[in-house]
Structure 1
Amino acid sequence: MTIVQPISTTTALPQTHTIDIVIRNAEVLDGSGTAAYRADLGISDQKIVAIAPALSLQGYEILDASGLVVAPGFIDVHTHDDREVLDAPNMLPKLTQGVTTVITGNCGISLSPWAADRTPPAPLSLIGTQADFRYASVQDYVKAVKQSQPAVNVGILIGHSTLRVNAVADLQTGANAEELQRMQDLLAEGMHAGALGFSSGLFYQTSKAADNQEVIALAKISAAAGGVYTSHIRDEYNGVMQALAEAFDAGAEAKLPVILSHHKCAGPANWGRTTETLAYISERKRSQAIGLDAYPYTAGSTVLDPDYVDGVIRIMISFSEPHPEMQGRDLADIATEWGVDQKEAARRLHPAGAVYFQMREDDVERVLSYPHTMIGSDGLPHDSHPHPRLWGAFPRVLGHYSRDKKLFTLAEAVRRMTTLSADHFGLKQRGRIAPDCWADLVIFDPATISDQATFASPKQAATGIHWVLVNGAIALEKGVPSPSRHGQFLERRQERFPGIPV
C-alpha cells in the first residue's frame, strides 16, 4: 500500500479541549479512493475533530492502529434488517464486518407502514410474521428504532409490496385509482417521517401485477420529498434488458435517482450478459442519475419458488417451515431422498427460503469491477441457515476480491462501501474521513481481513477487524461488542446527492 502524508488536515481545536479518543498512527483510507496516508485521528462529541501527523495527538483513550488501516465505517446499502435492528439491536452480523450503517426496506419489502389485517405473504414473510408487522405508520416504526437504540445507524426505504398489501384488494391486479391514492398517502407519510426513498420488487408475486405507471406514480412521491427509487427489477433472467429499461424509464419520468438492487444476470442462459447490461447502464447514466449495488457471491437468496426450480442450477434450502430439518441441504438431494422431482420437493418444502447458485464468477467480477457499483449484503437475518453474505460480504470484497484477486485497489474497495454509498443515499457527513464528519470508523488489518462465513457454516464472523466505532463510541473491540449502543436513525435530507447529477 502506498502511504502519503496528509496535507493541511488538522482541525483547529481550542487549547483547553482534550480529545476523547485518538486513533494513533493509522494508515488512513478516507473513502475518496485516493492513496492512504499515515495520521492520527482525534474524536470528540461523536465527530472527527482532528486529523494530524502520526504520533502527534493526545487524548483520554488511545487506540494504537500501527500497521492497521482506518476507514469510514461501511454502509450496507442493501439489507433486510428491518426487524433485526429491533429484535437483535447488537447487530453482530454487521458490526463484525465493519458495517456502521444499514439501509433497510429493500426489494419492495419493509416492515412499515402496516395496517392490513392479513398474514404477510411472501416475500414479506422473509422479514417477519404477522406479529412483527405491527407499525401502522413509518413514524411508529422510526420511534421503535430509536427506542431500541441499535448498535448501527439505520436508514429506511418504504417497500412497494408492503404498500400494495395494505392498499390493493386483489394483488393479482394493478391498483385502481382509490388504491393508488391510498399507497401514495402512506408513502408520503413515510417520506415525511424521514425515509430515504421508495423501493420496489416487481419480480415478486405481491407486485408483479403492477405496471410501470403505478410505480412512477409512487416514485413521484419519493421524488417530491428528495428521495430515491431502488429497484429489484422485474426480470434478472432472459428479460433483463427490458426490465432495466423499465426501471430507468420510471426514474426518468418521476425525476429521481434510480438504484438497481443486486445487479446480476441470472441463469445459465444469461451468463456473460453483464457486458451488455453494464454498457446499457453506462449509456443511460449519461442522461439520468443511476446507481447499483452488488454482493460478492455467485449465489443469491430469496423465497423458494417452484417456478424457478429448473433442475440445472444448485439450490440450497435456507429454511423450511414444514421441514426445518432440511435447512442447509441441497434441493436435489432432498428430492432424491423423497423420490420426487425438484419442483415437487420445492412444493412440499413451502413456505421456504433458498440459496440459488444462479450466477457465473466472471459476471460477478465484472459487476464488482464497474466503478459505480456499491456493495450491499442483501442478507436475510431470519433464515435459519442464511446465505453467508449476511456475515461476510464486506470482508470478502476487501480480502478475496481486492487483496487476493486484485480486482481493484483497497482504496477503491473502501470507496465502494463508503463515499459512493453515502452520496447516492444523501447521507451527509457519513462515509468519509474528514473534519466534522460523524466518527463512524472501522480499523482493520489489510493483510488478514477475510470472510469466514461459508455456505456450509454461514454464521461466522470475519477476521482482521480490530475496532469499529459508531458515532464516536467504540462499538466493537477485538470481536466483542460494547454493552452500550450508539446507532442513530438517519433521516433523509432535502439537499441530497453531492456530486451526483440528477
Structure 2
Amino acid sequence: MLGACATADQQGSASSASTDSATSGPKYDVLITNGRIVDGTGNPWYKADIGIAQGKIVAIGSLQNASAARTINAGNRIVSPGFVDLMGQSSFAYVADRPTAESRLRQGITTHASGEGWSHAPQNRFTQPDPEVADGRSYRWTRFSEYFDILEERKLPLNVVHKVGAAQVRRVVLGDNDVDPSARDMAAMKALVRQAMEDGATGLASSLIYPPGNYASTDELVELAKEIAPFGGTYFTHMRNESHDLLGAIDEALEIGRRAGVSVHIYHLKAAGNGNWPLFDKAIDKINAARASGMNVTADIYPYINNGIGLGSFIAPQHYASGRAALLARLDDKQFRDFLRAEIEAPGNVWENWYQNVGSDWGKVVVTQTADNIDSSIVGHSIAESANILGMDVWDTFFELVKAGTSVAPQSMNDGQKRAALNQPWVSVETDTAPANPATSKSTHPRAFGAFPRVLARYVRENQWLSLEDAVRRMTSLPAQSVGIRDRGLIELGMAADIVVFDENRITDTATFAKPMQYAKGIDYLLVNGELVIDDGRNTGARPGQVLRPRIGN
C-alpha cells in the first residue's frame, strides 16, 4: 500500500480513475499530496498521497506525477477520515436553515448521527401537529422513508444516519402520559420500530430521564430492541440515571442488550455530581466485564465538564405524568412552587436530582438557551446571576425559566472522569447538540461548535492524554463502526472520500459559554463524498451529503 502506488484497480475495482489521463483527461477528480495520513485505525501516521474519483478513495501512495481536476497540497498537514458525530440531534436543521451545517463542517464532521429518545420518525398528527417549513414549503411525513426522500430532495451538506427513538414510538402510540402499553399497543410500537429499520434506521435509541421516555419499563425496551436484532441494529441509550444510580442504569442497559440480543452503546457516559464521581471507575469496570463476557458495549463522551439539559429536568419526572403542558399550567401556583422547591432541596436520591448534582448551587447552572420573551443577556450566565439580571428571587427565576423552555449546562462532572473514559479503547466522541447558525440562533452549548476540535486541542496537544492517532480513531472508525457504516471512517482503498485536512498545531475550539456561537479554527479542507465543502478555510456551499442507510442483516 505504501509503495509506488496502490490503486483501487489493483484490487479489482471498476473505477473510471483507471483510464489513461493522456487520452481521457485527469486521472483523478481530487488529488491530495504531501499529507501525513492518520488513517483512522489508530496506527502511526505515514506520508502518502491520495487519489479520489467518483466520491471514492481509489489510490494511496506516491502520486506526485498524477493528474487531477483539483490538486490539494496538504503541506505536511494531517489528512484523516472525516469525523463522525455519534449523537448530533436534529438533521432537519440542514433543510430548514441550511447555514447551520457550518457549525459541524468547521469541526471536520462529515457524518451526523441523529436521534436520541426523540427521532424524526415515525410521526402522526399528535407528534407533528404542524408541518415543518423550509424555504416557504411545508413538509409532513409519517415514516423514515418519506423523511429521507425530503432530505435527499433538499440535498445535504454532510451525511446523516438515523436511529429510531423509543420515546418517539411511544408518543405515536400512547401520547405523552405515563401509561403502560397494552398488548395491542406493544404490537403497534414494535411494528413501527421494525418499519424504521426496514427504511434504513441504524438502531433503537432511548432517553430515559426525559418524559415520556422515562415511563418505559425495561421489559418494554427489551421488546422494542428485539425488533432491531434481525437488522444488526444497536441499542443506543441515554441511561435512566447518570448520577447516584449510575451502576444500576448500566445494569439495565446491559440487560436490554442481552435479552434482545443486540449491541449496546451508552451516550455521554458520566458520573454526575461530585458525590458520585467515585462511581465512574466502577462503571468502567462493569462495562469492561460485559465486554469480557462477549457483549459488544461501547460509549461516548463530549469534552466538557458541563452537561446540557432542559431546565425542566430539575423537576422530578413524576410531575410530567399528565404531560408537559399540564405541569407548566401549574407553575404559577405559589403553593405548588413551594412544594416543588422543598422536593428539589430535600436530600436523598429518590430520583436524579440535578440540583443536588451541582451541589445545590445555582451558580453552577449556566443558561445556554431560552425563549424570545426572556432577556437574552442571561445567556452565558448562571441561574444565580440571571436572577440578579432579571431582578427576581432565584427560585422564581428558576420556575419562570422552566416555563420558557430554557436549556442549561450544569457543571456536574470533572476532568478526571473524562481522562478515565479516554483510557478505554471503546469510548468515542459526540457533540450531543443540534447544529446551530449564529445568524438565526441566540445561543447553544459550546459543544455545538467546538467538541471535536477541542479534543484535538485540549486532550491531544495541551494535556497529552491521547495520541493524535488514537484521538482520530475515536472520532472516525470507532463511531462509524458503532452506527454500522462500513464504508466510512478509514483512509483505505474503496472507502467513501470523506476526508479532513487540518493543522494539528492550529486546530482549536473558540466557543465558550459566554460566547458559544463561534466557529472552530484549523480545518483547512473538508471533503464529503469526494467534493470539497471547506476549501482552503472557506465554506463552498456544496451539498454532496447522503442519507446513509446501514443494512447489516435482512
The two structures share one fold, judged by TM-score above 0.5: yes
**Contact 1:116/1:165 (CA < 8 Å) preserved in 2?**
no
The equivalent of 2:300 in structure 1 is 293
Say which SS state the counterpart of residue 227 (structure 2) adopts.
Answer: helix
Note if 1:214 corresponds to 2:260.
Answer: no
For residues 425-464 of structure 1, what are the alpha-carbon distances to aligned partners after superposition, in whole Å with 9 as ceiling and x for unaligned? 2112110001111000000011111111111111111111
CA distance in 2, matches of 1:169, 1:446: 48
Question: Partners in 2 of 1:62 and 1:200 — Cα distance?
Answer: 44
| 2:330 corresponds to 1:320 | no
Q: Could you tell me whether the CA contact under 8 Å between 1:78 and 1:293 is conserved in 2?
A: no
Q: 2:79 aligns to what?
A: 70
SS at match of 1:456: coil
**Equivalent of 2:525, from 467, 481, 488?**
467
CA distance in 2, matches of 1:132, 1:381: 21
Distance 1:172 1:33, change over 3 A: same
Aligned counterparts of 1:195 and 1:354: Cα–Cα separation in 2: 30
Please say if residues 3 and 61 of structure 2, whose CA atoms lie closer than 8 Å, have aligned partners that are also in contact: no
Deviation at 1:273, TM superposition (A): 2.4
User: Is the contact made by 1:476 and 1:482 (CA closer than 8 Å) also made in structure 2?
Assistant: yes
Change (3 A) 1:415 1:212: same
1:99-141 deviation digits (Å, cap 9, x = unpaired): 00000012x1112211042678xxxx9xx9xx99942111111
Deviations 1:160-213 (A, max 9, x none): 111111111462123222222221121111111101111001111211121100
Aligned to 1:59: 68
CA distance in 1, matches of 2:232, 2:248: 27
CA drift at 1:467: 0.2
Aligned to 1:365: 419
Q: 1:361 is matched by which residue type in structure 2?
A: D
User: Are 2:49 and 1:40 equivalent residues in the alignment?
Assistant: yes
Contact residue 379 and residue 514 of structure 2 kept, 8 A: no
Alpha-carbon distance change, 186 to 53 in structure 1, aligned in 2, over 3 angstroms: same
Match of 2:159 in 1: 153
Q: 4+ residue stretches of structure 1 with deviation over 6 A?
A: none
Q: Decide which of 38, 46, 56 is 1:29's aligned counterpart.
A: 38
Rounded Cα–Cα distance in structure 1 between residues aligned with 2:259 and 2:238: 18
Q: Could you tell me which residue of structure 1 aligns to residue 111 of structure 2?
A: 101
The reply to whether residue 494 of structure 1 matches residue 500 of structure 2 is: no
* Distance in 2, Cα, partners of 1:492 & 1:57: 34
Is the partner of 2:490 in helix, strand or coil?
A: coil
Q: Distance in 2 between matches of 1:284 and 1:367?
A: 16
AA aligned opposite 1:476:
I
- 1: distance between equivalents of 2:490 and 2:448? 24
SS in 1 for 2:145: helix
The CA deviation at 1:87 is 1.6
- Name the CA distance, whole Å, in 2 between partners of 1:142 and 1:204: 26
Match of 1:390 among 437, 445, 448: 448
Which structure 1 segments of 5+ residues have no match? 497-502
Higher share in helix: 2
Deviation string for 1:296-324 (max 9, x for gaps)?
01011121123333432611112222415
Q: 1:88: which partner in 2?
A: 97
Report Cα offsets for 1:461-492 as digits up to 9, x if no partner: 11111100000111111332223210001001
What secondary structure is seen at the aligned counterpart in 1 of 2:409? Answer: strand
Q: 1:170 to 1:484 in 2, by over 3 A?
A: closer
CA contact (8 A) 1:81 1:102 kept: no
| Equivalent residue number for residue 400 of structure 1 | 458
TM-score in terms of structure 2 length = 0.83
Structure 1's 9 and 266: CA in aligned 2 closer, same or farther, altered over 3 A? farther
Equivalent residue, structure 2, for 1:500: none
User: Counterpart of 2:193 in 1: which secondary structure?
Assistant: helix
Q: Structure 1 residue aligned with 2:433, among 364, 367, 379?
A: 379
Structure 1 residue 343, shift from structure 2 partner:
4.0
| 2:186 counterpart of 1:183 | no
Structure 2: how far apart are the matches of 1:182 and 1:8? 58
Q: Which consecutive residues of structure 2, in runs of 5 or more, have no partner in the other structure?
A: 11-16, 22-26, 316-353
Identity of matched residues, %: 30
Q: State the number of aligned residues.
A: 483
Contact between 1:299 and 1:359, CA under 8 Å: does it hold in 2? yes
Cα pair distance change 1:495/1:415, threshold 3 Å: farther
* Contact 1:452–1:461 (8 Å) recurs in 2: yes
User: TM-score, with normalisation over the residues of structure 1?
Assistant: 0.91
Moved more, 383-392 or 261-270: 383-392
Equivalent residue in structure 2 for 1:304, among 271, 296, 311: 311
Please tell me whether the aligned partners of residues 386 and 458 of structure 1 are also in contact (alpha carbons under 8 angstroms): yes
Is the Cα–Cα contact under 8 Å of residues 85 and 111 in structure 2 kept in the other structure? Answer: yes
67 and 169 in structure 1: CA distance in 2 versus 1, 3 angstrom threshold: closer
CA contact (8 A) 2:509 2:520 kept: yes
Aligned partner of 1:264 in structure 2 is 270
The CA deviation at 1:384 is 2.9
| Matched letter for residue 97 of structure 1 | Q
Q: Which has the larger radius of gyration?
A: 2
CA RMSD of aligned residues (A): 2.3
Determine the C-alpha separation between the residues in 2 that align with 1:118 and 1:194: 21
Q: 1:140 aligns with which of 135, 146, 151?
A: 146
Q: Work out the CA distance in 1 between the residues paired with 2:125 and 2:20.
A: 57
Per the alignment, residue 384 of structure 2 pairs with: 332
* CA distance in structure 2 between the aligned counterparts of 1:74 and 1:279, rounded to whole angstroms: 28
